[in-house]
Structures are given as C-alpha cells and as structure tokens.
C-alpha cells in the first residue's frame, strides 16, 4: 500500500466515519429522543414512534442512491460525495437545535422526521461513492482489503458516537444529559464536517472514472442502463436478495437491536448498555479488515454466506444467554414463574397507539397486557373464550382481570415473583455480556467486510455507482433499517422478548438460499471500464 493508496483510504474513510457518526447518533439516543419529541403518547408507543423516525432515515436511502448514484456516474465520484457530506452535516446540526414537543407540539416530531429524511438521502449517495472510489484505486487482488477499511467506517462512526455520548453522560450526569446535553453530540458534528470536507477536497477523481471520462465512455443514462436492461437488473436483484438483505439484518441485529434489547427489554441502564456495546465494537472492529483480506484469498461469497448461516443458527441461543448474563433476575423469574395471558383474541388490542388517544382499559386483555408491557414483564398468550375478561397466570397464581381493573395488583404480583423493575448493575455479568456482544459483532464483520468489493465487482464501471448503490440501500435502508422498529413492535405485540428475532433470522435464511443458488463469485474479476458486464464473466 503506497502513500497515494493510504491517502485515498484515509480520506474516504474519515469522511464516511463522520457521516455514520451523524446518522447513528439518533439511534443511540432513541430513548431520550422518544421523551423529547414523542411525549404526547404512552411510553411503549413513544419508543416505537422514535424507532420509526429512526427508520425514516433508512426509508429514503434508496432514493438517495438513485439521485446521487446517477450524479456520480454522470459527473464523477469525488464531487458527488462532497455534496452528500454537506447535506448530512447540515441536517445533523439542525437536530441539535430542534425545539422539543413541549415547546412547539406536533411540529417537533414532524421536523425531526424531515431532518431524518434529509440524512437518509445524503447517506444514500455517500456509501456507494466511497466504496466505488476506493475500489477503483485498489490494485488487483487487494480490493477486499482496501474496501474493508470503508466497511469499518459504519462501526467506527457508531463507536465514535458512543464515546461522545458516554463521555458527556459521565461528565454531565444523566439528568442534565437527558434534559439538554443530548443536543451537544449533534452540534459538535459541525466541527467534524469542516475537517472531513477539507480532507476530501485534497482528493483527485478515481483513475477508472477519469479514464472513462477522457475517452467519452461514461454512461449518458445510468438509471435506464442499470435498471432498464435485464442483463444488469438481474444482478441488482441477486445482489439485493442474495447478499445485501442478509448482510443488513445481521448488521443491525448485532450493533443496534442488541443495544435496544439491552436497554428497553432487559432494562439495563442506558450508560451501561452504551459501554458494553462500545467494548464489543472495540474488540470486533479489526475483523472487518481480516475478513476483507480473507475474501481476497478465498472469495467473497463463502464468507458472507457463512455469516448468514451462523446468524440463523446462533441468534436465539445468543440472545437467551444475553438475558441470563445482563438481567439474571428476569431470566430466573421467567423460568420460575412464567406469565401467561388467557383471553379471547378478539378482545386483545395490539399495544401500539400512534396518536396517544387509545385507551387500553376497555377489556381485561388490554388492561393486563398494557400493565405487563409497561412493567417489562414478558408473557405468553393463550386463547380462551372469556369475553371481555382475561386470566393472568404468574407462576402458580392466577388473577382475573376485567375492564377497569387496577393494574397495580398484577405489577405487585410480578414483583413478588421476582420480576425486576430494572437490571441490577451489580448482577450484570460484564465479561460474559461483552463476549456475547462480541460474537454478534463478529457475525457483522463476516457479512459486511467483503460486501463492498463484491458489489463493485458485480457491475460495469459506467453504471457502477448507480447499480451498486440501489441494492445496498434497499437492503440496509429497508431490510436492515426497519429491523429495530419491526422487532420491537413484534415483542410489544406478543409479549415474547425473543419474538423480534424471527425477522432477522427469516431474512438471513432467505439470503442464504438465494445467495447459494444465484450469487456468483467475483473476487478474481477486473473492474476497469473496458469490461461492459463483469457479472457476466
């Protein structure tokens, strides 16, 4: 790796770290943001809505990929991701200035969602440009290694955000941080923006794109060429379903859903959960480069497929072990005194209220489930013809719950059975929790480390930015970005704290099947612009 290669990688990676830092601050602070911007609804609904606003940024990422991917193939890689970086920085800074729900009412969450949409559009154009730019500078046989540094940026951005949040929480105290200190990480992104823009301005255009431009070989209509021709479109679909969708759910399960699971389901305090995730990221991050390097030796496909297969097999036992290690009292109570709600399914509402006006007290089922969900007590469901009544079993004890019943009786019984209001910090098995989280991160590095090189190699240079960006951002924006919202909603709806895992397991299994059948191996292909369709080779 010569000096020019180092400069390209460092400049591209630092800018992308900044963009991920901006984008993931929101996810780290979802609990606080829920209280600041969605305080007009109940706590469970508020958190789901906060996760929904988090997911809104992912929803528009494919549209950003189309807009900026087209510009990148028409105008060039370098200037396109300079524009996306500026948009991301401005939107992030504005989140730090946004008035809360208490100040301006419903306008606050609407403005927040708007800023998340701008962030999503910017990120939709950033990743494809950075990955393509680095890959087109890499020598043959080293694209997996070179692009793996770009792959570390998502985790390094999350890690940087974690360090800032942990430092501020420690210095300010939880009360001040929750009141106003949460805004500081967003505001200081203006400094990072300036540094990142300056660094990237030092770069030249990629040699592959410059050669195409000099020869007049760039695409005049990259969108229609990428998606209007079956020879290219079929590889977009294979890339999405046979690689990126599974990669995305493994990524977001290992690095975001694990955090939400610790904080919202296992009731570990936010500061401790952040530290635990940060430790796992610090241990696991170098393996992005290890698996990127390994993919140059044995191929991209076997590593990505192995990561998806391991996720399918290991998620349930890993999250079960995480429950026992992080909140042993909850695990013990669930085993000793399981909770079951018996009711007529027709009398049970989904415990989700997006407008804050639904009353969960008109049937016994709703009264029981609302109380248990609010207290963080997992439960199973059983159908029974009880009309508007419900019978709740807590271990050997049974309680009849009617419309208008006082939920305090159930909460007291659950507490007496050993269900904790929150995880006891003294009982958290920190080494074991970090070990489990590290395994989840290692699965992330397996599927994510080689993916940039694989996507670059699937498509011809003239439409590469456009063609690789769309499946990447549909996969990571929709399949992955909506994962925390979908999984947490599944837990809230069923009462089963492990129900949300069926979503990433199902998607990873789909990718495993499609990938094994249709995804080609790409690691020995050339990616210069002479080849019209590298995926056909």
pLDDT band at 441 (very low <50, low <70, confident <90, very high): very high
Can you give the pLDDT at residue 156? 84
In the numeric block, which tokens belong to residue 259? Answer: 């955090």
Can you give the pLDDT at residue 40? 67
Q: How large is the average pLDDT for residues 134-156?
A: 86
**263 and 343 inside one domain:** no
**315 and 368 inside one domain:** no
Label residue 267 left, alpha or beta by phi (over 0 means left) and psi (-120 to 50 means alpha).
left
User: In what helix (H) or strand (E) does residue 363 lie, and over which residues does it extend?
Assistant: none
**389 and 323 inside one domain:** no
Mode of pairing for the β-strands spanning 380-383 and 339-343: parallel
Query: What's the pLDDT tens digit per position in 398-421?
Result: 999 998 888 888 889 999 999 998
Q: Among 109-123, 129-143, 209-223, 273-287, which is the least confidently predicted range? A: 209-223
| Cα distance between residue 364 and residue 384, in whole Å | 12
DSSP helix, strand, coil percent of the chain (3-state; round to 5): 75, 5, 20
Average pLDDT, the chain: 85
Q: How large is the average pLDDT for residues 279-303?
A: 94
| DSSP per-residue codes, 488-531 | HHHHHHH--TTGGGHHHHHHHHHHHHHHHHHPPP-TT---STT-
* Domain stop point among 397, 416, 435: 416
CATH of the domain at 186: 1.20.1250.20
CB proximity list for 154: less than 8 A, separation 6 or greater = 16, 20, 251, 448
**187 and 124 inside one domain:** yes
**232 and 375 inside one domain:** no
Can you give the pLDDT at residue 537? 43
For residues 429 and 325, is the Cβ–Cβ distance under 8 A?
yes
Can you give the pLDDT at residue 435? 97
Q: How large is the average pLDDT for residues 431-459?
A: 95
| Cα distance between residue 255 and residue 265, in whole Å | 16
| Cα distance between residue 259 and residue 277, in whole Å | 7
Higher pLDDT, 535 or 476: 476
Query: What's the pLDDT tens digit per position in 166-195?
Result: 899 889 988 899 888 999 998 988 887 788
Q: What DSSP designation does 459 have?
A: S
> Is residue 356 pLDDT above 60, yes or no?
no
**145 and 263 inside one domain:** yes
Can you give the pLDDT at residue 314? 97
Higher pLDDT, 526 or 501: 501
pLDDT band at 355 (very low <50, low <70, confident <90, very high): very low
**163 and 144 inside one domain:** yes
Q: How many other C-beta atoms lie within 10 A of the C-beta of residue 494?
A: 19
Q: Among 309-323, 431-445, 515-529, which is the least confidently predicted range? A: 515-529
Q: How large is the average pLDDT for residues 5-16?
A: 76
| Cα distance between residue 8 and residue 203, in whole Å | 7
**135 and 234 inside one domain:** yes
**439 and 402 inside one domain:** no
* Domain stop point among 416, 445, 477: 416
CB proximity list for 290: less than 8 A, separation 6 or greater = 445, 449
Can you give the pLDDT at residue 336? 93
Query: What's the pLDDT tens digit per position in 74-95?
Result: 777 777 877 888 888 888 889 8
| Cα distance between residue 202 and residue 200, in whole Å | 5
Q: How large is the average pLDDT for residues 193-219?
A: 76
Can you give the pLDDT at residue 533? 47
Can you give the pLDDT at residue 216? 76
> Is residue 49 pLDDT above 90, yes or no?
no
**285 and 338 inside one domain:** no
| Cα distance between residue 270 and residue 384, in whole Å | 38
Q: Considering only CA atoms, which of 55, 57, 56 is closest in space to residue 88? A: 57
Higher pLDDT, 55 or 254: 254
User: In what helix (H) or strand (E) does residue 13 lie, and over which residues does it extend?
Assistant: helix 3-28
For residues 149 and 13, is the Cβ–Cβ distance under 8 A?
yes
Q: What percent of the chain lies above the pLDDT cut of 70? A: 93
> Is residue 455 pLDDT above 60, yes or no?
yes
Q: How large is the average pLDDT for residues 441-453?
A: 94
**411 and 449 inside one domain:** no
CATH of the domain at 347: 3.40.30
Can you give the pLDDT at residue 329? 94
Domain of residue 373 covers 331-416
Number of domains composing the chain: 2
* Domain stop point among 384, 416, 448: 416
Higher pLDDT, 89 or 333: 333
| DSSP per-residue codes, 85-153 | HHHHHHHHHHHHH---HHHHTTHHHHHHHHHHHHHHHHHHHHHHHHHHHHHTTSPTT-HHHHHHHHHHH
pLDDT band at 2 (very low <50, low <70, confident <90, very high): low
Query: What's the pLDDT tens digit per position in 372-399?
Result: 877 888 999 998 888 889 999 999 999 9
**298 and 336 inside one domain:** no
Higher pLDDT, 130 or 440: 440
């Amino acid at each position: 790796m010569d000096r020019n290669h180092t400069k390209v990688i460092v400049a591209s990676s630092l800018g992308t770290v900044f963009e991920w830092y901006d984008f993931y601050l929101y996810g780290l602070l979802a609990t606080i943001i829920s209280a600041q911007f969605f305080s007009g609804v109940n706590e469970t609904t508020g958190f789901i809505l906060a996760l929904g606003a988090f997911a809104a940024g992912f929803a528009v990422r494919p549209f950003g990929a189309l807009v900026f991917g087209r510009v990148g193939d028409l105008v060039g890689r370098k200037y396109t991701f300079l524009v996306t970086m500026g948009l991301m920085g401005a939107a992030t800074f504005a989140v730090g200035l946004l008035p809360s729900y208490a100040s301006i009412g419903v306008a606050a969450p609407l403005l927040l969602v708007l800023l998340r949409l701008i962030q999503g559009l910017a990120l939709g154009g950033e990743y494809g440009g950075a990955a393509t730019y680095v890959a087109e500078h890499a020598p043959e046989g080293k694209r997996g290694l070179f692009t793996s540094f770009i792959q570390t940026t998502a985790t390094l951005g999350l890690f940087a955000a974690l360090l800032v949040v942990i430092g501020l929480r420690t210095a300010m105290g939880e009360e001040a941080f929750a009141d106003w200190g949460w805004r500081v990480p967003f505001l200081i992104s203006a400094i990072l923006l300036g540094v990142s823009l300056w660094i990237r301005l030092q770069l030249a255009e990629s040699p592959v794109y410059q050669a195409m431009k000099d020869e007049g070989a760039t695409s005049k209509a990259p969108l229609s060429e990428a998606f209007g021709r079956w020879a290219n479109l079929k590889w977009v679909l294979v890339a999405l379903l046979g690689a990126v969708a599974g990669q995305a759910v493994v990524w977001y399960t290992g690095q975001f859903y694990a955090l939400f699971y610790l904080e919202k389901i296992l009731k570990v305090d936010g500061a401790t959960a952040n530290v635990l995730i940060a430790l796992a990221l610090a241990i696991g991050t170098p393996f992005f480069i290890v698996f990127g390097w390994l993919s140059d030796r044995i191929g991209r496909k076997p590593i990505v497929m192995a990561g998806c297969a391991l996720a399918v097999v290991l998620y349930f036992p890993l999250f079960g072990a995480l429950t026992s290690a992080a909140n042993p009292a909850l695990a013990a109570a669930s085993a000793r005194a399981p909770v079951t709600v018996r009711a007529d399914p027709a009398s049970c509402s989904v415990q989700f209220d997006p407008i804050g006006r639904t009353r969960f007290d008109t049937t016994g089922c709703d009264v029981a489930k609302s109380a248990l969900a609010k207290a963080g007590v997992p439960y199973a469901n059983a159908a029974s013809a009880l009309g508007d009544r419900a019978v709740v079993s807590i271990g050997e004890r049974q309680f009849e719950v009617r419309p208008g019943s006082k939920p305090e009786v159930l909460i007291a019984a659950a507490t007496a059975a050993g269900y904790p209001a929150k995880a006891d910090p003294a009982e958290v098995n920190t080494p074991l929790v970090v070990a489990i989280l590290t395994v989840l991160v290692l699965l992330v590095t397996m599927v994510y480390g080689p993916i940039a090189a694989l996507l670059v190699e699937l498509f011809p240079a003239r439409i590469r930015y456009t063609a690789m960006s769309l499946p990447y951002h549909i996969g990571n924006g929709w399949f992955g970005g909506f994962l925390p919202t979908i999984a947490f909603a599944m837990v809230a709806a069923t009462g089963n704290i492990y129900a949300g895992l069926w979503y990433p397991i199902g998607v990873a299994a789909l990718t495993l099947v499609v990938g094994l059948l249709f995804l080609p191996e790409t690691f020995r292909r050339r990616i210069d612009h002479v080849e019209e369709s590298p995926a056909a080779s």
